[in-house]
C-alpha cells in the first residue's frame, strides 16, 4: 500500500473518531435558534434535598429550587427497595447525565438522561391503601 493511501486512511479514521467523540460529549452550553444559551442541567451534591425512585428505571432528584429526572441506561436493580444511595460524580461534585447512582452493596446504575422535571406526581400513591404496621 502506498504512503499516500496510508495517510488518507489514517486521516479518515482520526476524523471519524473526533466526530464520534464530539457527538457523544456535548458541550456544557447549547445555543438555540434565538441565540440564547441554556446550561446543562445539574445539581451539586451539597444542594440536593431529596430523591425518589421511579421504580427501577429512573429517579427524581430535588435540587435547591427544582426537581430533575434521571433515566438509567438499563434496569437499576434494588433502587426501589433502598432508603440510601450515593452518587458517583467524579471530582466535580455535580449530579448530571454523566453521573452514576451507587447502591448499598456496590451496585452501580449509569444515568442515560438528566433533565428538569415537574417532580413526582402528587397522586402517585392514590391507589395504595394504608396498612397497620405489624411487628
**What does the pLDDT look like over 45-66, one tens digit per residue?**
888 999 999 999 999 999 988 9
Q: Is the pLDDT of residue 102 over 50?
A: yes
% of the chain surpassing 90 pLDDT: 43
Sole residue written with cell 433502587: 79
How far out from the chain centre does Cα 32 lie?
Answer: 22
pTM, two decimals, is 0.64
Q: What's the confidence (pLDDT) of residue 129?
A: 76
**Cβ neighbours, 10 Å, residue 94:** 17
User: HEC states along 9-72?
Assistant: HHHHHHHHHHHHHHHHCCCCEEECCCCCEEECCCEEHHHCCEEEEECCCEEEEECCCCEEEEEE
Amino acid at each position: 500500500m502506498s504512503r499516500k493511501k496510508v495517510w488518507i486512511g489514517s486521516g479518515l479514521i482520526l476524523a471519524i473518531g473526533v466526530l464520534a467523540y464530539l457527538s457523544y460529549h456535548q458541550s456544557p452550553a447549547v445555543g438555540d435558534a434565538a441565540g440564547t444559551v441554556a446550561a446543562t442541567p445539574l445539581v451539586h451534591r451539597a444542594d440536593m434535598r431529596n430523591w425518589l425512585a421511579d421504580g427501577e428505571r429512573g429517579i427524581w432528584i430535588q435540587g435547591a429550587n427544582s426537581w430533575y429526572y434521571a433515566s438509567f441506561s438499563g434496569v437499576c436493580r434494588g433502587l426501589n427497595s433502598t432508603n440510601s444511595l450515593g452518587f458517583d460524580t467524579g471530582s466535580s461534585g455535580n449530579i448530571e447525565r454523566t453521573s452514576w447512582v451507587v447502591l448499598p452493596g456496590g451496585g452501580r446504575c449509569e444515568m442515560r438522561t438528566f433533565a428538569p422535571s415537574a417532580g413526582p406526581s402528587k397522586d402517585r400513591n392514590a391507589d395504595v391503601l394504608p396498612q397497620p404496621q405489624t411487628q
